[in-house]
């Protein structure tokens, strides 16, 4: 039941009108005899509609009160007045009324005006709610991290969001109204655009890599989803294109795949290591017996020694495999240690190898430690992190067959220590960079096993840290290790000394 309020300074008219409204099944929640009273009553009662007389006693008349109520409370008002001259009508229009009835009035006239006013107000509220939803939706699209473009059925661009302008450097005014073919890169075959167009025009969804030409003419490869938007009849109204940078998408896919892939590799590696260890134990045991048999077979013993050396190398590979799969080992061997000392030890350990290479080929290698700043000790397994540094240094040397420089840097934040190792080598392609932590992947066979960086990844994972690699083909490579200090453990150890 709709709640109404009556405002009129003539009590007889108010009473008659109230009786009529109640007989029409309306709920009259209040009556006021002045404009001032009507404003305070409307604030208190919040009716669905007010029937307002215009000429009343007091400083304000009904039109003044209607303006206040409309502005402050947005309640619809129908004027009920004996005045129909132009002066009052023009003033009443300024209050934006929902009706204007001249006394004397008929019952059906009152009912029709009330129902129309209530219906109009209901539509107005729904429209405002819809406009608010559209405003919020627009803000989501406008500030979305993906490039979003809307175009009509002819391929003319109707809307682009902020991300589109940031990536392509086209402002909305420069691109809206232009055809999407303006963005077709010279490196992009027209077949791709035609394939996308054919798919969405037929009502389907298209996904693929689309090369978009930026304002400066440079191409940018984007992963694109294009789809039609239809009305309730199934007719296509417009098309939406959502674009994402290929590199970022692939990074996310790799992040999702990497843990599962490593777990599978650990399972396989554990089985291989077990079987390989059994074979090596038999080979080593028999070779050692033959060498120590006392037989003066010089050539045979030399060959047996070669076999023994090879089996020992195989045993070393197995140890690395076990290190790789043993990432859930407890930190029983962890102590607080200065990583700069570990770096120096790793450099010293690798010096004989790269000095021999340099001496043989007259190659120059340089070690730059100037970036090694003071850092807090890290709670770690020094032998394991030492292996990480050795593996990264060996990789850097492999990347510089003609010589070069390896630079070391250390710094820290509140709870993390950072170590960077940079080389001036040949860099890595995107494909190599994606596979660098995969077990058994190497570009240096048969010299390398391909376990070094996967072991480094496993060790860093065990220490709660991470490895970041920055490299491009033909450019320098920088590997950055991020290792938590574990201040909580440090504080526990320090407090235990004084208790």
- Structure confidence at residue 75 (pLDDT): 92
Residues 178-182 have a mean pLDDT of 85
pLDDT at 6 exceeding the cut of 90: yes
pLDDT band (50, 70, 90) for residue 445: very low
User: Within the chain, how many helices (H) and strands (E) appear?
Assistant: 15, 17
Each residue of 46-70: pLDDT tens digit?
Answer: 999 999 998 888 888 999 999 999 9
- Structure confidence at residue 495 (pLDDT): 40
pLDDT at 278 exceeding the cut of 80: no
User: Tokens representing 203?
Assistant: 């009502």
Each residue of 381-406: pLDDT tens digit?
Answer: 888 888 889 888 888 888 888 888 99
Query: What does 316-336 look like in DSSP terms, one character per residue?
Result: HHHHHHHHHH-TT---TT-EE
- Strands, E assignment, 75-187: 77-81, 99-102, 147-151, 157-160
Each residue of 310-330: pLDDT tens digit?
Answer: 566 555 555 555 555 554 455
Distance CA 427, CA 396 (A): 9
Report the percentage of the chain scoring pLDDT > 70: 73
Q: What sign has the CA pseudo-torsion 435, 436, 437, 440? A: positive
Spatial contact of 445 and 396, defined as CB atoms under 8 Å apart = no
Per-chain mean pLDDT for the chain:
78
Lowest mean pLDDT among 156-165, 236-245, 270-279: 270-279
Domains of the chain: 3-136 (3.40.50.2300), 142-245 (3.30.450.20), 250-325 (1.10.287), 335-491 (3.30.565.10)
- Structure confidence at residue 65 (pLDDT): 92
Residues 382, 384, 390, 394: what is their CA dihedral angle, to the nearest 10 degrees? Answer: -170
Closest-CA residue to 488 (of 329, 331, 326, 327)? 331
- Residue bearing tokens 């992040």: 255
- Residue bearing tokens 């120096």: 344
3-state SS class at 158: strand
């Amino acid at each position: 039941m709709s709640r109404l309020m009556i405002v009129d300074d003539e009590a007889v008219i108010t009473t008659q009108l109230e009786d009529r409204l109640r007989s029409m099944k309306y709920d009259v929640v209040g009556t006021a005899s002045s404009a001032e009273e009507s404003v305070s009553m409307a604030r208190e009662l919040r009716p669905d509609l007010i029937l307002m007389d215009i000429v009343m006693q007091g400083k304000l008349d009904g039109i003044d009160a209607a303006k206040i109520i409309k502005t402050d409370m947005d309640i619809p008002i129908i004027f009920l007045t004996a005045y129909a001259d132009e002066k009052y009508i023009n003033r009443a229009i300024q209050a934006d009324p929902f009706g204007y009835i001249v006394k004397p009035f008929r019952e059906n006239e009152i009912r029709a005006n009330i129902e129309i006013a209530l219906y109009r107000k209901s539509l107005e509220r729904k429209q405002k709610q819809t406009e608010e939803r559209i405003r919020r939706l627009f803000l989501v699209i406008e500030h979305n991290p993906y490039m979003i473009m809307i175009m009509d059925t002819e391929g003319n661009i109707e809307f682009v969001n902020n991300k589109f302008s940031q990536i392509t450097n086209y402002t909305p005014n420069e691109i809206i109204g232009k055809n999407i073919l303006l963005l077709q890169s010279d490196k992009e075959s027209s077949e791709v655009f035609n394939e996308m167009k054919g798919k969405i025009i037929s009502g389907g969804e298209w996904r693929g890599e689309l090369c978009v030409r930026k304002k400066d003419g440079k191409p940018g490869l984007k992963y694109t989803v294009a789809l039609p938007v239809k009305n309730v009849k199934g007719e296509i109204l417009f098309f939406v294109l959502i674009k994402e940078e290929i590199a970022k998408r692939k990074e996310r896919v790799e992040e999702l795949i990497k843990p599962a892939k490593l777990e599978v590799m650990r399972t396989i590696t554990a089985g291989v290591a077990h079987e390989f260890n059994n074979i090596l134990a038999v080979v080593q045991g028999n070779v050692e017996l033959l060498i120590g048999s006392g037989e003066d077979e010089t050539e045979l013993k030399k060959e047996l020694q070669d076999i023994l050396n090879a089996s020992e190398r195989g045993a070393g590979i197995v140890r690395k495999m076990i290190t790789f799969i043993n990432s859930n080992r407890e930190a029983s061997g962890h102590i607080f240690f200065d990583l700069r000392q570990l770096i120096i030890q790793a450099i010293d350990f690798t010096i004989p190898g790269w000095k021999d290479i340099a001496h043989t080929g007259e190659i120059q290698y340089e070690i730059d430690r100037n970036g090694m700043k003071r850092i807090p000790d890290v709670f770690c397994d020094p032998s394991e992190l030492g292996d990480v540094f050795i593996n990264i240094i060996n990789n850097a040397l492999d990347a510089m067959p003609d010589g070069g420089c390896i630079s070391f840097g250390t710094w820290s934040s509140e709870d993390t220590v950072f170590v960077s190792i940079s080389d001036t080598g040949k860099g890595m392609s995107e494909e190599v960079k994606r596979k660098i932590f995969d077990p058994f992947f190497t570009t240096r066979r048969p010299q390398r096993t391909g376990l070094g960086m996967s072991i480094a990844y496993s060790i860093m994972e065990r220490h709660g840290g991470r490895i970041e690699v920055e490299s491009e083909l033909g450019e320098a490579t920088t590997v950055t290790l991020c290792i938590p200090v574990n201040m909580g453990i440090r504080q526990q150890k320090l407090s235990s000394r004084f208790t």
